[in-house]
Structure 1
Amino acid sequence: MTIAPDAVQREVHWYLAMRDAVQSLDDTVPGKFEITKEGIVHDMMAPSGPHELTTLRLRKRLEKVMPEELAAHTGAPDVEDEPQGILRLPDIMLIAEADMEIQGSFDPHTLIAAIEVVSRSNPDNDWVGKMRDYPLLGVPVYAIFDPRTGTGAVLSDIHQTAAGPRYAMRKDFVYGEDVTIGDWTISTEGLPLYA
C-alpha cells in the first residue's frame, strides 16, 4: 500500500500541532506528556519514590558494567521520530555519549535500549503503548520493570509483522533474578515494590 504525499503531510502537520500543544503545556500542567500513534498520553502523577528509586538503582548498576563512553541516561531530552509521529521520554536510555552531543530530541535509532519503570497510574502506557512504539522507532531493546508485581520483561529482535514492526523475543523475569539488557547483565535484587 502506498500512502499519498498529501496524507503524509497531513499526518506530519497533525503531529507537529500535537507537539506544539505538548510543549506549551509542559511547564504549566503537572505530569509527563508523550505522543503516540493514537494521540497524546498524559501521565498526571509525579513519579513515586519506588519508581524513582528503581530508576536510580538500574542506572547505577548499568553504568558499573557498561563501557565508559556509554550512558544510562535519565531525563530530557526525549526521543522523537517526526515522520512516525511519535515522541517518547524513556525512564532510562542506553546511549553513547557521542550521540547525546546534539540539539533537540535524541534520534531513537541511536538508542541501544529503552528502559521503563511501570507507572502505577498508567501501566498500559508501558506494557502496551511503548511495546508498540519502541520497535516502530527502531529501538533494538526494550526493558520493562514493574514495581506493582516485582516482574518485568526484556524485548528484542525487531521483525516485521502485518501490524508493523514488533519485538520477536521476550524474556520475562522476576525481581531477584539477574537480567540482561543488550550486552550487560545486572541484578534486580533489592528493587522496591509499590506499597
Structure 2
Amino acid sequence: MTIAPDDERQGTLLYQQMRDVVQRLEDTVPGKIEITKEGLVHDMTAPVGPHELTALRVRKRMEKVMPDELVAHTGSPDVEDDSEGILRLPDIMVIAEADMEVPGSFDPRTLIAAVEIVSRSNPDNDWVSKMRDYPLVGIPVYAIFDPRTGTGAVMTEIHQTPEGPRYATRKDFLYGEDVTIADWTISTEGLPRYA
C-alpha cells in the first residue's frame, strides 16, 4: 500500500487504524507484527534458537566495547515514526540509556544503530523492507546477520535518492570475520547457523 502525499490525513488515519490492530493482536498471535510503508508485516514464527543466540552474542559483544552510557537493547518497546507510518521492532537497538527514558515507543532518530538477525521464515523483511524503512526514519547504521548463509552486511551513510532516503554504503561480511557497527568492532566467530 502506498499513500500519496496529498492523502496525508487519510494516511494518518490509516496508520492509526493499523497501530490499533497491532496493539490488539500483539498478545494474541504468535510472532511479531510491524508496520511498514506497504502495510502490516507479520512474522508468524517465534524466533528459533539460532536467531536468539545470535542476538544474545552480538548484544553481549557490542556492550563489551561500547561506553557504559550506551546499551545494545533487545526487546520492547518498538521504534515508531508516525509521520512516516512506520513501526518496527529491531532485534537489537544501540541507544543511549538516557534516550530510553520515554513513555511509549523509542524515537528511531535516537538509535545509533539497528541490528537484525534474518528470520528463516521472512528474510525479505530484513533484506528489503527494513533496508528501505530504516534510512527513511533516520537510523544511521543498519547491520544484518543472516544465519541462513553465514553472511551479513552493515549499511551506513543515508543519502537522498529519487525513491527517498537510502543507505549509500554497504559492507558485506562472512561469519568468522570482524565486523564494525557504528564505532565498534566485534567478532562474528561462533555465531550459529540455521540447520
Question: What TM-score range do you get, normalising by the shorter chain?
Answer: over 0.9
Runs of 4+ in 1 over 6 A off after TM superposition: none
Displacement after TM superposition at 1:11 (Å) = 0.4
Distance 1:100 1:168 in 2: 28
Distance 2:139 2:103 in 1: 20
Corresponding position of 1:33? 33
Distance 2:41 2:150 in 1: 25
Answering whether residue 108 of structure 2 is matched by residue 108 of structure 1, we say yes
Answering whether residue 99 of structure 2 is matched by residue 99 of structure 1, we say yes
Displacement after TM superposition at 1:12 (Å) = 0.7
Displacement after TM superposition at 1:61 (Å) = 0.2
Corresponding residue SS for 2:60:
helix
Corresponding residue SS for 2:23:
helix
Distance 1:3 1:118 in 2: 32
* CA spacing shift, 1:125–1:3, aligned 2, 3 Å: closer
Distance 1:44 1:3 in 2: 31
Answering whether residue 156 of structure 2 is matched by residue 156 of structure 1, we say yes
Answering whether residue 30 of structure 2 is matched by residue 3 of structure 1, we say no
TM-score by length of 2: 0.97
Displacement after TM superposition at 1:152 (Å) = 0.2
Corresponding residue SS for 1:112:
strand
Distance 1:33 1:3 in 2: 25
Q: Report matched runs for 1:128-143 at 5 Å.
A: 128-143=128-143
Corresponding residue SS for 2:5:
coil
Q: Report matched runs for 1:1-195 at 5 Å.
A: 3-4=5-6, 7-195=7-195
Corresponding residue SS for 1:8:
helix
Corresponding residue SS for 1:13:
helix
Query: Structure 1: 5+ residue runs without aligned partners?
Result: none
Distance 1:93 1:176 in 2: 22
Corresponding residue SS for 1:173:
strand
Displacement after TM superposition at 1:3 (Å) = 3.5
Percent identity of paired positions between Structure 1 and Structure 2 = 76
Deviations 1:6-61 (A, max 9, x none): x1111011000001001101111111000001010000000000000000000000
Distance 1:11 1:3 in 2: 9
Query: Structure 2: 5+ residue runs without aligned partners?
Result: none
Corresponding residue SS for 1:144:
strand
Distance 2:31 2:181 in 1: 28
TM-score by length of 1: 0.97
Aligned residue identity for 1:22 = V
Corresponding residue SS for 1:95:
strand
Distance 1:163 1:91 in 2: 26
